[in-house]
Structure 1
Amino acid sequence: MTQTILYARVSTSEQTLDHQRTQAEAAGFVIDEVIADHGVSGVTTALRDRDEGKRLFDKLREGDTLVVRWVDRLGRNYQDVTDTIREFMRRGVIIRTVINNMTFDGATTDPMQEAVRDALIAFMAATAQAQAEATKEAQKAGIAAKKDQAPQAYLGRKPSYDRKALDQVTDMLTQGAGTSVIAKAVGLSRQAVLRIKADPVHAEVVLGAWEGREA
């Protein structure tokens, strides 16, 4: 019996997971099961290396439909996303996205349709990676500018977060998680999360200054 499985990469909140399922169902999907990874960075962790991502690879069978909000949920970069989609298609799994209702199916044998499908997969994966890289570069530029303007301004009180915590907060904010949920998951005060949210570049510079001082 075939299944329709929603894979979500969420913060840690069941509410956030419910929101993703609600979005999928509102788009017309009938979901049989939800598989979700919590608190995992999609930028640094391949799908196969995520706890529930491994289970997804084990579970999907020919004829199943895999639903994701967008293709960036399936990997950490262009190569990872395209490899994952193609492997699932070779297995006979249909991949569908909530955003734009895209469908990727390996059943076609028409070479022209295959070419169009593969080009679209490549374009979407490349776009997702480009957007992530552009965000990182903009943040780096902002950090460098602030350091040049007032380097001593960032050597005040030591921040309450370390590198791992800052990365997790930033990732969860990108996914749309609430500040209270993030604070509880990461072990920071809500005020600390709000400060990071208000000025992530400043938060990065503060931490970088202290890392340099303690090196």
Structure 2
Amino acid sequence: MSTFLYARVSTSEQTLAHQQIQAEKAGFAFDHVIADEGVSGVSVSMRERPQGKRLFDMLRAGDVLVVRWVDRLGRNYSDVTETIREFIKRGVVIQTIINGITFDGSTKDPMQMAVRDALIGFLAATAQAQAEATREAQKAGIAHAKAKEDAYRGRKPSFTRQQLETVRNLLTTETRIAEVARVSGLSRQTVYRIQADPEGTEKSLALWDA
């Protein structure tokens, strides 16, 4: 019998070492540490991960698999439930560091089995829900930041750098505004605005990286 720690990190803000230290502080000792780094638990199933596949190959009846929480196995409901059920079917005991939950196939009592399976489903669903909530929060944060940036920059210019240069060049030749507008493809109001505030129009383009 061997004890395995499986760790997974998907971003540079997480560390594998932290998960191992947390497990050791909880009193676990390991014969093997298996870790996938930079791997999404949402889009990459356990069997598709380099070390996840290795874990499937190594685990035997009587082994103990330790994970920080079920979300380290994955953040996809179907993948997590299938992985846990496959391992306990093999006779592997799964233990979580957080909450100290144990999953195994030792019980034959139907009520205990039903409670165990319901808990597996609940925790797997929670892991996926948290991933989806995080993703939505990130989208909202990006949208908010972009909205603030756009508000700071003001209205996007209705003219391009090339059009601005065309207008400037024609205005130096005392070309009539109507003709400047026709050649540049801009409205007369825009041409008047460029003429009246050359510094402001230049700044506006610069803020929009135009």
Could you tell me the TM-score, scaled by structure 2's length? 0.66
Q: Which residue of 2 aligns with 1:169?
A: none
User: What is the aligned-residue identity percentage?
Assistant: 69
Q: Secondary structure at the match of 1:115?
A: helix
Corresponding letter in the other structure for 2:98: I
CA, structure 1 residues 118+39, in 2 after alignment: closer, same or farther (shift >3 Å)? same
CA, structure 1 residues 139+117, in 2 after alignment: closer, same or farther (shift >3 Å)? same
CA, structure 1 residues 141+54, in 2 after alignment: closer, same or farther (shift >3 Å)? same
Question: 2:69, 2:97 within 8 Å by CA — same for their partners in 1?
Answer: yes
Corresponding letter in the other structure for 2:81: T
Q: Distance in 1 between matches of 2:136 and 2:18?
A: 30
In terms of Rg, which structure is larger?
2
Q: CA deviation at 1:29?
A: 1.4
What runs of 5+ residues in structure 1 fail to find an aligned partner?
Answer: 156-208
Q: Distance in 2 between matches of 1:126 and 1:105?
A: 19
Aligned positions of 1:75-90 closer than 5 A: 75-90=74-89
Q: Distance in 2 between matches of 1:139 and 1:17?
A: 23
Question: 1:47, 1:76 within 8 Å by CA — same for their partners in 2?
Answer: no
Corresponding letter in the other structure for 2:31: D
Q: Which residue of 1 aligns with 2:136?
A: 137
Q: Which residue of 1 aligns with 2:103?
A: 104
Q: CA deviation at 1:147?
A: 4.2
Q: CA deviation at 1:11?
A: 6.2
Question: 2:62, 2:91 within 8 Å by CA — same for their partners in 1?
Answer: yes
**Deviation per residue, 1:91-118 (Å, 9 max, x gap):** 1111100111110011111000001111
Q: Distance in 2 between matches of 1:113 and 1:5?
A: 25
Q: CA deviation at 1:10?
A: 3.2
Q: Kindly indicate whether residue 118 of structure 2 is the aligned counterpart of residue 119 of structure 1.
A: yes
Q: Which has the higher contact order (CA 8 A, sep 6+)?
A: 1
What runs of 5+ residues in structure 2 fail to find an aligned partner?
Answer: 157-207
| Mean Cα deviation higher: 45-54 or 3-12 | 3-12
Q: CA deviation at 1:35?
A: 0.6
Q: Superposition RMSD on alpha carbons, in Å?
A: 2.7
